[in-house]
A and B are shown apart, each in its own frame.
Chain A
Amino acid sequence: MLTLEAVSYRYAGATRLSLREVSLTLGEGEVVGVVGRSEAGKSTLCLVASGLAPRTLGGTLRGRVLLDGADSSGRAMHEMARDVAIGFQNPGTQLSGVATTVYEEVAFGPMNLGIARDEVLRRTESSIDALAIGALRDRDPDLLSGGQQQLVAIAGLLALSPRHLILDEPTAQLDPAGTRLVSDAIKGLAGGGVSILIVEQKVDLLAGVCDRVIALDEGRVALDGAADQVLRDPALHAMGVAEPSGVRLRRLASEAGLAPEVIAGALRAEAWSSADG
Protein backbone atom coordinates (compact mmCIF):
# COMPACT_ATOMS: atom_id res chain seq x y z
CA MET A 1 0.00 0.00 0.00
CA LEU A 2 1.29 3.47 -0.95
CA THR A 3 0.07 6.25 1.32
CA LEU A 4 0.55 10.01 1.27
CA GLU A 5 -0.22 11.59 4.63
CA ALA A 6 -0.97 15.33 4.55
CA VAL A 7 1.81 15.93 2.03
CA SER A 8 2.82 19.47 1.10
CA TYR A 9 5.69 20.13 -1.30
CA ARG A 10 7.56 23.20 -2.48
CA TYR A 11 10.12 23.06 -5.31
CA ALA A 12 13.59 24.40 -4.54
CA GLY A 13 13.60 28.15 -5.10
CA ALA A 14 9.79 28.36 -5.45
CA THR A 15 7.83 30.80 -3.34
CA ARG A 16 4.58 28.84 -3.18
CA LEU A 17 3.60 25.26 -2.43
CA SER A 18 2.83 23.02 -5.39
CA LEU A 19 1.04 20.45 -3.22
CA ARG A 20 -0.99 21.34 -0.13
CA GLU A 21 -1.99 18.82 2.52
CA VAL A 22 -2.65 16.02 0.04
CA SER A 23 -3.65 12.70 1.56
CA LEU A 24 -4.07 9.63 -0.61
CA THR A 25 -3.98 5.86 -0.26
CA LEU A 26 -3.33 3.45 -3.12
CA GLY A 27 -4.57 0.02 -2.13
CA GLU A 28 -3.49 -3.29 -3.66
CA GLY A 29 -4.81 -3.57 -7.23
CA GLU A 30 -6.45 -0.16 -7.05
CA VAL A 31 -6.29 2.25 -9.99
CA VAL A 32 -6.58 5.91 -9.03
CA GLY A 33 -6.91 8.60 -11.69
CA VAL A 34 -5.75 12.17 -11.22
CA VAL A 35 -7.26 15.08 -13.12
CA GLY A 36 -6.99 18.83 -12.90
CA ARG A 37 -6.12 21.87 -14.96
CA SER A 38 -2.52 22.83 -15.84
CA GLU A 39 -0.31 23.57 -12.81
CA ALA A 40 -2.85 21.96 -10.47
CA GLY A 41 -0.03 19.82 -9.03
CA LYS A 42 -0.67 16.56 -10.91
CA SER A 43 2.93 15.95 -12.04
CA THR A 44 4.25 17.10 -8.67
CA LEU A 45 2.01 14.52 -6.99
CA CYS A 46 3.58 11.84 -9.22
CA LEU A 47 7.11 13.00 -8.37
CA VAL A 48 6.39 13.00 -4.62
CA ALA A 49 4.61 9.63 -4.65
CA SER A 50 7.50 8.06 -6.60
CA GLY A 51 10.09 9.44 -4.20
CA LEU A 52 11.89 11.55 -6.84
CA ALA A 53 10.79 14.67 -4.95
CA PRO A 54 12.57 15.63 -2.83
CA ARG A 55 15.29 12.92 -3.17
CA THR A 56 16.47 13.89 -6.64
CA LEU A 57 14.75 17.22 -7.22
CA GLY A 58 15.40 18.83 -3.84
CA GLY A 59 12.73 21.12 -2.45
CA THR A 60 10.84 20.87 0.82
CA LEU A 61 8.42 18.10 1.75
CA ARG A 62 6.06 18.17 4.72
CA GLY A 63 3.95 15.16 5.65
CA ARG A 64 4.88 11.52 5.01
CA VAL A 65 5.02 9.04 2.14
CA LEU A 66 4.49 5.51 3.46
CA LEU A 67 5.20 2.19 1.76
CA ASP A 68 3.22 -0.60 3.42
CA GLY A 69 2.83 1.57 6.49
CA ALA A 70 6.55 2.35 6.83
CA ASP A 71 7.94 5.85 6.33
CA SER A 72 9.89 5.82 3.05
CA SER A 73 11.97 8.93 3.73
CA GLY A 74 15.04 6.89 4.74
CA ARG A 75 15.10 4.83 1.53
CA ALA A 76 17.45 5.66 -1.32
CA MET A 77 15.97 6.16 -4.80
CA HIS A 78 17.25 2.82 -6.10
CA GLU A 79 15.52 1.14 -3.15
CA MET A 80 12.29 2.97 -3.97
CA ALA A 81 12.66 1.77 -7.59
CA ARG A 82 12.17 -1.83 -6.47
CA ASP A 83 8.64 -1.00 -5.32
CA VAL A 84 7.55 2.14 -7.14
CA ALA A 85 7.93 2.80 -10.88
CA ILE A 86 7.16 6.08 -12.58
CA GLY A 87 6.65 6.92 -16.24
CA PHE A 88 6.61 10.40 -17.74
CA GLN A 89 4.95 12.13 -20.64
CA ASN A 90 7.98 12.70 -22.87
CA PRO A 91 9.16 9.35 -24.26
CA GLY A 92 12.46 10.68 -25.65
CA THR A 93 13.90 11.48 -22.24
CA GLN A 94 12.74 8.21 -20.66
CA LEU A 95 14.98 6.11 -22.85
CA SER A 96 18.31 5.17 -21.34
CA GLY A 97 20.39 6.19 -24.35
CA VAL A 98 22.67 3.19 -23.81
CA ALA A 99 20.49 0.43 -25.25
CA THR A 100 21.07 -0.68 -28.83
CA THR A 101 17.72 -2.46 -29.15
CA VAL A 102 14.21 -2.18 -27.76
CA TYR A 103 14.83 -5.48 -25.97
CA GLU A 104 17.79 -4.05 -24.06
CA GLU A 105 15.89 -0.84 -23.36
CA VAL A 106 13.04 -2.78 -21.73
CA ALA A 107 15.59 -4.82 -19.75
CA PHE A 108 17.49 -1.72 -18.58
CA GLY A 109 15.63 -1.26 -15.25
CA PRO A 110 15.89 -4.82 -13.94
CA MET A 111 19.53 -4.92 -15.12
CA ASN A 112 20.23 -1.85 -12.96
CA LEU A 113 18.67 -3.54 -9.96
CA GLY A 114 21.08 -6.46 -10.32
CA ILE A 115 18.30 -9.02 -10.80
CA ALA A 116 19.40 -12.48 -12.01
CA ARG A 117 19.84 -12.68 -15.80
CA ASP A 118 17.17 -15.36 -16.34
CA GLU A 119 14.63 -13.31 -14.41
CA VAL A 120 15.58 -10.16 -16.38
CA LEU A 121 14.96 -12.08 -19.62
CA ARG A 122 11.62 -13.44 -18.37
CA ARG A 123 10.39 -10.00 -17.28
CA THR A 124 11.55 -8.42 -20.52
CA GLU A 125 9.73 -10.98 -22.68
CA SER A 126 6.56 -10.64 -20.62
CA SER A 127 6.60 -6.81 -20.75
CA ILE A 128 7.19 -6.80 -24.51
CA ASP A 129 4.24 -9.17 -24.95
CA ALA A 130 2.00 -7.08 -22.67
CA LEU A 131 2.42 -4.03 -24.91
CA ALA A 132 2.48 -5.97 -28.19
CA ILE A 133 5.83 -4.49 -29.25
CA GLY A 134 7.46 -7.77 -30.25
CA ALA A 135 7.90 -6.49 -33.81
CA LEU A 136 10.12 -3.69 -32.48
CA ARG A 137 12.37 -5.79 -30.25
CA ASP A 138 15.49 -5.56 -32.46
CA ARG A 139 14.97 -1.92 -33.49
CA ASP A 140 17.09 0.98 -32.21
CA PRO A 141 14.87 2.74 -29.62
CA ASP A 142 16.24 6.16 -30.59
CA LEU A 143 14.90 5.72 -34.13
CA LEU A 144 11.29 4.89 -33.19
CA SER A 145 8.33 7.25 -33.42
CA GLY A 146 7.21 9.09 -30.27
CA GLY A 147 4.26 6.73 -29.77
CA GLN A 148 6.42 3.63 -30.18
CA GLN A 149 9.01 5.06 -27.78
CA GLN A 150 6.26 5.65 -25.21
CA LEU A 151 5.15 2.01 -25.42
CA VAL A 152 8.78 0.92 -25.03
CA ALA A 153 9.18 3.23 -22.01
CA ILE A 154 6.05 1.77 -20.39
CA ALA A 155 7.25 -1.77 -21.12
CA GLY A 156 10.49 -0.79 -19.36
CA LEU A 157 8.46 0.16 -16.29
CA LEU A 158 6.50 -3.11 -16.36
CA ALA A 159 9.82 -5.00 -16.45
CA LEU A 160 10.65 -3.51 -13.05
CA SER A 161 7.67 -5.54 -11.72
CA PRO A 162 6.68 -2.69 -9.42
CA ARG A 163 4.06 -3.05 -6.72
CA HIS A 164 3.05 0.56 -7.34
CA LEU A 165 3.03 2.18 -10.76
CA ILE A 166 2.77 5.92 -11.33
CA LEU A 167 2.03 7.17 -14.82
CA ASP A 168 2.11 10.86 -15.74
CA GLU A 169 0.11 11.25 -18.96
CA PRO A 170 1.35 7.97 -20.43
CA THR A 171 -0.83 8.14 -23.55
CA ALA A 172 -0.13 11.77 -24.51
CA GLN A 173 1.67 10.69 -27.68
CA LEU A 174 -0.29 7.54 -28.42
CA ASP A 175 -2.90 6.87 -31.08
CA PRO A 176 -6.17 5.10 -30.11
CA ALA A 177 -4.64 1.64 -30.67
CA GLY A 178 -1.64 2.47 -28.46
CA THR A 179 -3.95 3.97 -25.84
CA ARG A 180 -5.99 0.76 -25.81
CA LEU A 181 -2.80 -1.29 -25.29
CA VAL A 182 -1.84 0.86 -22.31
CA SER A 183 -5.38 0.60 -20.95
CA ASP A 184 -5.29 -3.21 -21.25
CA ALA A 185 -1.84 -3.33 -19.60
CA ILE A 186 -3.13 -1.21 -16.70
CA LYS A 187 -6.12 -3.51 -16.20
CA GLY A 188 -3.86 -6.57 -16.34
CA LEU A 189 -1.43 -5.14 -13.78
CA ALA A 190 -4.22 -4.06 -11.45
CA GLY A 191 -5.69 -7.55 -11.73
CA GLY A 192 -2.31 -8.87 -10.56
CA GLY A 193 -2.40 -6.63 -7.46
CA VAL A 194 -0.32 -3.66 -8.67
CA SER A 195 -1.67 -0.32 -7.47
CA ILE A 196 -1.64 2.40 -10.09
CA LEU A 197 -1.78 6.19 -9.95
CA ILE A 198 -2.42 7.68 -13.36
CA VAL A 199 -2.54 11.31 -14.45
CA GLU A 200 -4.40 11.62 -17.74
CA GLN A 201 -6.09 14.22 -19.89
CA LYS A 202 -7.97 11.45 -21.73
CA VAL A 203 -10.82 11.11 -19.27
CA ASP A 204 -12.41 8.31 -21.30
CA LEU A 205 -9.34 6.21 -20.49
CA LEU A 206 -9.73 7.04 -16.80
CA ALA A 207 -13.44 6.16 -16.94
CA GLY A 208 -12.48 2.77 -18.36
CA VAL A 209 -9.67 1.78 -15.95
CA CYS A 210 -10.01 3.72 -12.68
CA ASP A 211 -11.68 2.64 -9.48
CA ARG A 212 -11.28 6.08 -8.01
CA VAL A 213 -10.50 9.57 -9.32
CA ILE A 214 -9.18 12.60 -7.51
CA ALA A 215 -9.25 16.12 -8.89
CA LEU A 216 -6.52 18.53 -7.89
CA ASP A 217 -6.96 22.28 -7.85
CA GLU A 218 -4.11 24.61 -6.90
CA GLY A 219 -2.28 21.74 -5.21
CA ARG A 220 -5.24 20.60 -3.08
CA VAL A 221 -7.55 17.63 -3.46
CA ALA A 222 -10.79 19.23 -4.66
CA LEU A 223 -12.72 16.03 -5.43
CA ASP A 224 -12.10 12.44 -4.38
CA GLY A 225 -14.46 9.55 -4.97
CA ALA A 226 -15.53 6.66 -7.18
CA ALA A 227 -14.48 7.22 -10.80
CA ASP A 228 -17.99 7.36 -12.24
CA GLN A 229 -19.09 9.82 -9.56
CA VAL A 230 -16.17 12.22 -9.85
CA LEU A 231 -16.03 12.13 -13.65
CA ARG A 232 -19.69 13.13 -13.94
CA ASP A 233 -19.47 15.81 -11.22
CA PRO A 234 -20.36 19.22 -12.74
CA ALA A 235 -17.69 20.79 -10.51
CA LEU A 236 -15.05 18.95 -12.57
CA HIS A 237 -16.26 20.57 -15.76
CA ALA A 238 -16.11 23.95 -14.02
CA MET A 239 -12.46 23.22 -13.14
CA GLY A 240 -11.66 23.01 -16.85
CA VAL A 241 -11.43 19.21 -17.00
CA ALA A 242 -13.12 17.57 -19.99
CA GLU A 243 -16.04 15.26 -19.32
CA PRO A 244 -15.96 11.65 -20.53
CA SER A 245 -17.67 11.42 -23.94
CA GLY A 246 -20.62 9.41 -22.53
CA VAL A 247 -21.26 12.03 -19.83
CA ARG A 248 -20.95 14.84 -22.35
CA LEU A 249 -23.32 13.12 -24.75
CA ARG A 250 -25.93 12.64 -22.01
CA ARG A 251 -25.61 16.28 -20.93
CA LEU A 252 -25.94 17.60 -24.48
CA ALA A 253 -28.90 15.27 -25.16
CA SER A 254 -30.58 16.44 -22.00
CA GLU A 255 -29.98 20.08 -22.92
CA ALA A 256 -31.48 19.34 -26.36
CA GLY A 257 -34.59 17.85 -24.72
CA LEU A 258 -33.95 14.19 -25.67
CA ALA A 259 -35.24 11.56 -23.25
CA PRO A 260 -32.42 9.89 -21.22
CA GLU A 261 -33.62 6.41 -22.40
CA VAL A 262 -33.06 7.36 -26.04
CA ILE A 263 -29.42 8.33 -25.51
CA ALA A 264 -28.82 5.34 -23.20
CA GLY A 265 -30.11 3.05 -25.96
CA ALA A 266 -27.87 4.77 -28.52
CA LEU A 267 -24.83 4.36 -26.25
CA ARG A 268 -25.61 0.64 -25.76
CA ALA A 269 -25.93 0.15 -29.53
CA GLU A 270 -22.59 1.96 -30.04
CA ALA A 271 -20.92 -0.21 -27.40
CA TRP A 272 -22.19 -3.41 -29.11
CA SER A 273 -21.08 -2.27 -32.54
CA SER A 274 -17.60 -1.41 -31.18
CA ALA A 275 -17.37 -4.82 -29.52
CA ASP A 276 -18.35 -6.56 -32.77
CA GLY A 277 -15.89 -4.49 -34.75
Chain B
Amino acid sequence: MLGGIIGPLILVLLAVIVPALLARVVRDLVRTSLLLTLPIALSALLVNVLFFPAEQQVLLRPGPITVTAEGLVFALEILVRIMAISGAITLFYLTTRPQDLVVDLERRGVSARVAFVANASVQTVPAMVERAQQIAAAQRARGLDTEGSFMRRARGILPIVGPVILGSIAEVEERTLALEARGFTRPGRRTMLWWPTDSGAQRAARWSLIAALIAVAGARIAGRLG
Protein backbone atom coordinates (compact mmCIF):
# COMPACT_ATOMS: atom_id res chain seq x y z
CA MET B 1 0.00 0.00 0.00
CA LEU B 2 2.90 2.33 0.75
CA GLY B 3 4.72 1.59 -2.53
CA GLY B 4 3.39 4.81 -4.05
CA ILE B 5 4.98 6.77 -1.22
CA ILE B 6 8.32 5.08 -0.65
CA GLY B 7 9.49 5.33 -4.28
CA PRO B 8 8.93 9.10 -4.64
CA LEU B 9 10.24 9.61 -1.09
CA ILE B 10 13.53 7.90 -2.00
CA LEU B 11 13.72 10.09 -5.10
CA VAL B 12 13.14 13.25 -3.04
CA LEU B 13 15.86 12.12 -0.67
CA LEU B 14 18.38 11.32 -3.42
CA ALA B 15 17.61 14.06 -5.92
CA VAL B 16 16.66 16.93 -3.61
CA ILE B 17 17.73 16.46 -0.01
CA VAL B 18 21.22 15.01 -0.63
CA PRO B 19 22.16 17.70 -3.21
CA ALA B 20 20.73 20.35 -0.85
CA LEU B 21 22.90 18.98 1.95
CA LEU B 22 25.96 19.11 -0.31
CA ALA B 23 25.10 22.68 -1.34
CA ARG B 24 24.38 23.60 2.32
CA VAL B 25 20.97 25.02 1.55
CA VAL B 26 18.77 22.50 3.37
CA ARG B 27 17.34 25.02 5.82
CA ASP B 28 16.47 27.53 3.06
CA LEU B 29 15.12 24.72 0.91
CA VAL B 30 12.76 23.45 3.59
CA ARG B 31 11.57 26.94 4.56
CA THR B 32 10.97 28.16 0.99
CA SER B 33 9.48 24.89 -0.14
CA LEU B 34 7.07 24.82 2.81
CA LEU B 35 6.02 28.42 2.22
CA LEU B 36 5.32 27.69 -1.41
CA THR B 37 3.39 24.46 -0.93
CA LEU B 38 1.72 24.67 2.47
CA PRO B 39 -1.71 25.90 1.27
CA ILE B 40 -2.02 23.35 -1.54
CA ALA B 41 -0.55 20.55 0.61
CA LEU B 42 -2.99 21.22 3.44
CA SER B 43 -6.01 21.29 1.13
CA ALA B 44 -4.89 18.09 -0.60
CA LEU B 45 -4.45 16.40 2.78
CA LEU B 46 -7.82 17.48 4.16
CA VAL B 47 -9.83 16.70 1.03
CA ASN B 48 -8.33 13.24 0.55
CA VAL B 49 -8.27 12.16 4.18
CA LEU B 50 -11.79 13.34 4.97
CA PHE B 51 -13.63 12.82 1.70
CA PHE B 52 -11.98 9.84 -0.03
CA PRO B 53 -14.76 8.04 -1.98
CA ALA B 54 -13.72 4.38 -1.55
CA GLU B 55 -14.51 3.14 1.94
CA GLN B 56 -12.68 -0.09 2.77
CA GLN B 57 -10.45 0.26 5.83
CA VAL B 58 -12.09 2.79 8.15
CA LEU B 59 -9.74 4.40 10.69
CA LEU B 60 -12.06 6.98 12.29
CA ARG B 61 -15.66 8.14 12.04
CA PRO B 62 -15.91 11.61 13.62
CA GLY B 63 -19.56 12.57 12.99
CA PRO B 64 -20.57 12.45 9.30
CA ILE B 65 -16.94 12.19 8.14
CA THR B 66 -15.12 8.91 7.49
CA VAL B 67 -11.35 8.75 7.61
CA THR B 68 -10.06 5.76 5.64
CA ALA B 69 -6.61 4.23 5.34
CA GLU B 70 -6.89 4.46 1.54
CA GLY B 71 -7.64 8.19 1.74
CA LEU B 72 -4.69 8.73 4.08
CA VAL B 73 -2.29 6.84 1.80
CA PHE B 74 -3.56 8.68 -1.28
CA ALA B 75 -3.12 12.04 0.51
CA LEU B 76 0.44 11.07 1.50
CA GLU B 77 1.20 10.10 -2.10
CA ILE B 78 0.07 13.51 -3.29
CA LEU B 79 2.05 15.22 -0.54
CA VAL B 80 5.26 13.43 -1.56
CA ARG B 81 4.71 14.40 -5.19
CA ILE B 82 4.18 18.03 -4.21
CA MET B 83 7.34 17.83 -2.11
CA ALA B 84 9.27 16.44 -5.09
CA ILE B 85 8.08 19.19 -7.43
CA SER B 86 8.48 22.12 -5.05
CA GLY B 87 11.76 20.76 -3.65
CA ALA B 88 13.30 20.37 -7.09
CA ILE B 89 12.21 23.86 -8.20
CA THR B 90 13.38 25.46 -4.95
CA LEU B 91 16.71 23.63 -5.07
CA PHE B 92 17.26 24.87 -8.62
CA TYR B 93 16.41 28.45 -7.57
CA LEU B 94 18.72 28.29 -4.53
CA THR B 95 21.73 26.81 -6.28
CA THR B 96 21.67 28.43 -9.73
CA ARG B 97 22.70 32.00 -10.41
CA PRO B 98 20.20 33.38 -12.95
CA GLN B 99 23.03 34.77 -15.06
CA ASP B 100 24.67 31.33 -15.25
CA LEU B 101 21.36 29.92 -16.43
CA VAL B 102 21.11 32.51 -19.20
CA VAL B 103 24.66 31.96 -20.43
CA ASP B 104 24.35 28.18 -20.31
CA LEU B 105 21.01 28.19 -22.13
CA GLU B 106 22.59 30.34 -24.84
CA ARG B 107 25.56 27.99 -25.05
CA ARG B 108 23.12 25.16 -25.71
CA GLY B 109 21.59 27.08 -28.59
CA VAL B 110 18.55 28.60 -26.88
CA SER B 111 17.83 32.11 -28.20
CA ALA B 112 19.00 35.00 -26.03
CA ARG B 113 15.40 36.23 -25.76
CA VAL B 114 14.14 32.93 -24.36
CA ALA B 115 17.09 32.82 -21.97
CA PHE B 116 16.36 36.38 -20.88
CA VAL B 117 12.70 35.56 -20.20
CA ALA B 118 13.80 32.56 -18.10
CA ASN B 119 16.11 34.83 -16.13
CA ALA B 120 13.52 37.59 -15.76
CA SER B 121 11.01 35.06 -14.42
CA VAL B 122 13.44 34.00 -11.70
CA GLN B 123 14.25 37.62 -10.82
CA THR B 124 10.73 39.02 -10.93
CA VAL B 125 9.59 37.82 -7.51
CA PRO B 126 12.41 39.35 -5.41
CA ALA B 127 12.25 42.57 -7.47
CA MET B 128 8.51 42.92 -6.87
CA VAL B 129 8.91 42.15 -3.17
CA GLU B 130 11.55 44.90 -2.91
CA ARG B 131 9.34 47.37 -4.79
CA ALA B 132 6.35 46.49 -2.57
CA GLN B 133 8.46 47.10 0.55
CA GLN B 134 9.59 50.50 -0.77
CA ILE B 135 6.04 51.53 -1.66
CA ALA B 136 4.66 50.28 1.66
CA ALA B 137 7.30 52.33 3.52
CA ALA B 138 6.47 55.41 1.41
CA GLN B 139 2.72 54.95 1.99
CA ARG B 140 3.23 54.46 5.74
CA ALA B 141 5.33 57.65 5.82
CA ARG B 142 2.24 59.40 4.40
CA GLY B 143 -0.01 58.02 7.12
CA LEU B 144 -1.32 54.77 5.61
CA ASP B 145 -2.21 52.37 8.43
CA THR B 146 -1.07 48.84 7.58
CA GLU B 147 -0.87 47.51 11.14
CA GLY B 148 -3.54 46.22 13.50
CA SER B 149 -6.68 44.26 12.70
CA PHE B 150 -7.25 42.11 9.61
CA MET B 151 -9.65 44.69 8.13
CA ARG B 152 -7.12 47.51 8.58
CA ARG B 153 -4.42 45.47 6.91
CA ALA B 154 -6.77 44.53 4.06
CA ARG B 155 -7.66 48.21 3.50
CA GLY B 156 -3.94 49.01 3.40
CA ILE B 157 -3.25 46.55 0.58
CA LEU B 158 -4.91 48.45 -2.29
CA PRO B 159 -2.74 51.60 -2.12
CA ILE B 160 0.30 49.33 -2.26
CA VAL B 161 -0.77 46.81 -4.91
CA GLY B 162 -1.75 49.47 -7.49
CA PRO B 163 1.61 51.30 -7.53
CA VAL B 164 3.50 47.98 -7.42
CA ILE B 165 1.76 46.66 -10.53
CA LEU B 166 1.73 49.96 -12.46
CA GLY B 167 5.35 50.67 -11.50
CA SER B 168 6.41 47.20 -12.63
CA ILE B 169 4.66 47.66 -15.99
CA ALA B 170 6.38 51.05 -16.53
CA GLU B 171 9.71 49.51 -15.56
CA VAL B 172 9.25 46.69 -18.06
CA GLU B 173 8.69 49.28 -20.83
CA GLU B 174 11.81 51.26 -19.88
CA ARG B 175 13.86 48.08 -19.67
CA THR B 176 12.59 46.96 -23.07
CA LEU B 177 13.63 50.28 -24.63
CA ALA B 178 17.09 50.06 -23.07
CA LEU B 179 17.55 46.46 -24.27
CA GLU B 180 16.39 47.27 -27.80
CA ALA B 181 18.72 50.28 -27.92
CA ARG B 182 21.63 47.98 -27.03
CA GLY B 183 20.96 45.62 -29.90
CA PHE B 184 19.36 42.84 -27.86
CA THR B 185 16.83 41.96 -30.54
CA ARG B 186 19.48 41.31 -33.19
CA PRO B 187 18.95 37.87 -34.71
CA GLY B 188 21.81 35.38 -34.48
CA ARG B 189 24.23 34.42 -31.73
CA ARG B 190 25.72 36.92 -29.33
CA THR B 191 29.43 37.09 -28.60
CA MET B 192 30.09 35.31 -25.31
CA LEU B 193 32.85 36.32 -22.91
CA TRP B 194 32.79 33.26 -20.66
CA TRP B 195 31.05 29.94 -20.06
CA PRO B 196 29.91 28.60 -16.70
CA THR B 197 32.17 25.89 -15.29
CA ASP B 198 30.87 22.41 -15.95
CA SER B 199 32.97 19.95 -13.96
CA GLY B 200 33.11 16.18 -14.45
CA ALA B 201 31.19 15.73 -11.19
CA GLN B 202 28.42 18.06 -12.39
CA ARG B 203 28.16 16.22 -15.69
CA ALA B 204 28.11 12.86 -13.87
CA ALA B 205 25.36 14.09 -11.53
CA ARG B 206 23.30 15.31 -14.49
CA TRP B 207 23.61 12.06 -16.38
CA SER B 208 22.80 10.08 -13.22
CA LEU B 209 19.61 12.09 -12.75
CA ILE B 210 18.61 11.53 -16.35
CA ALA B 211 19.30 7.79 -15.94
CA ALA B 212 17.27 7.79 -12.71
CA LEU B 213 14.41 9.55 -14.47
CA ILE B 214 14.38 6.94 -17.22
CA ALA B 215 14.62 4.11 -14.68
CA VAL B 216 11.73 5.49 -12.60
CA ALA B 217 9.60 6.07 -15.67
CA GLY B 218 10.36 2.52 -16.82
CA ALA B 219 9.57 1.08 -13.41
CA ARG B 220 6.37 3.05 -13.26
CA ILE B 221 5.31 1.76 -16.66
CA ALA B 222 6.14 -1.76 -15.55
CA GLY B 223 3.87 -1.21 -12.55
CA ARG B 224 6.52 -1.79 -9.92
CA LEU B 225 5.93 1.53 -8.16
CA GLY B 226 2.28 1.60 -8.06
Interface residues of A (CB under 8 A from B): 47, 50, 52, 55-57, 76-78, 81-82, 85-86, 88, 90, 92-100, 104, 107-117, 120-121, 153, 156, 160
Known: A114-B191, A117-B191. A93 touches B186 (CB 8 A): no
Across-interface contacts of A109 in B (CB, < 8 A):
182-183
Tell which of B176, B179, B182, B186 has the most Cβ of chain A within 10 Å: B182
A85–B181 contact, CB under 8 A? yes
The distance in angstroms between the C-alpha atoms of A107 and B186, with both chains bound, is 15
- A56 near B176 with CB under 8 A, answer yes
Q: How far is the CA of A95 from the CA of B99 in the complex (A)?
A: 13
Selected A-B contacts with CB under 8 Å, 27 pairs: A47-B177, A52-B181, A55-B180, A56-B176, A77-B180, A78-B184, A81-B180, A81-B181, A85-B182, A86-B181, A88-B174, A96-B182, A97-B116, A97-B120, A98-B99, A98-B116, A104-B99, A104-B193, A108-B182, A112-B186, A112-B190, A114-B186, A114-B188, A114-B189, A114-B190, A116-B191, A160-B182
Bound-complex Cα distance A85 to B183 (A): 10
Query: Is B193 within 8 A of A107, CB to CB?
Result: yes
Q: A52-B181, A81-B182, A111-B193 are in contact. Are A97 and B174 (CB under 8 A)?
A: no
Are A98 and B193 in touch, CB under 8 angstroms? no
Give A11 Cβ to nearest chain B Cβ, in Å. 12
Looking at the complex, which one of A52, A99, A120 makes contact with B177 (CB distance below 8 Å)?
A52
Q: Could you say which residues of chain B place their CB within 8 Å of the CB of A52?
A: 177, 180-181
B119 and A120 contacting across the interface, CB-CB below 8 Å = no
Nearest A residue to B123 via CB reads: A97
| A64 vs B187: C-alpha distance when bound (angstroms) | 26
Mark B178-215 against chain A: 1 for CB-CB distance below 8 A, else 0.
11111111111111110000000000000000000000
Task: Determine the residue in chain B with the shortest Cβ distance to A119.
Answer: B191
**Given the complex of chains A and B, what is the CA–CA distance between A99 and B184 in angstroms?**
13
| Residue of chain B at shortest CB distance from A53 | B177
Contacts A111-B190, A114-B190 given; indicate if A57 touches B184 (C-beta within 8 A).
no
**C-alpha spacing A161/B62, complex, angstroms:** 76
CA–CA, A202 and B165, complex, Å = 32
A50 CA to B192 CA in the complex, in Å?
A: 26
